[in-house]
Amino acid sequence: MRAWSYLLGGLLIWTVHFFGDYIISSIFLTSLTSRVLTGLLTILCLAASVLLALAAWRNKATAPDLFRRWMDWTAFLAAAIASVGILWQGLPAILI
């Protein structure tokens, strides 16, 4: 189970951000509170995703076998894609 959490960690963070954004925008609509909460959620999720990507990148260099290297590479790519998605979803709420 820990391996699956590691592999899908970035995508899970992206999912939390996605649903959090919609919950915030459904409750607070277009108020300043909505923008502030969306900005905070975006920063927190982006930081978590970037930290996961950096950890996977560091682990990739010292992986003991080919399977572990593949897991680190997959976790890195998932976290990197999630970081772009999180930024893409959070940016309109902050800019508008």
The pTM score is 0.87
Domain count, the chain: 1
Q: pLDDT digits over 19-61, tens only? A: 999 999 899 888 888 899 999 999 999 999 999 999 999 888 7
Write down the pLDDT at residue 86: 95
Could you tell me if 83 and 10 are in contact, meaning their C-beta atoms sit under 8 angstroms apart? yes
- Residue-averaged pLDDT of the chain: 90
Alpha-carbon gap, residue 77 to 73, rounded angstroms = 6
Structural domain span for residue 44: 2-95
Alpha-carbon gap, residue 37 to 10, rounded angstroms = 21
Mean pLDDT (whole number) for 69-85: 93
Write down the pLDDT at residue 92: 81
* Two tokens, residue 25: 């925008």
Write down the pLDDT at residue 95: 79
* Two tokens, residue 47: 């930081």
Least confident of 12-16, 46-50, 67-71: 67-71
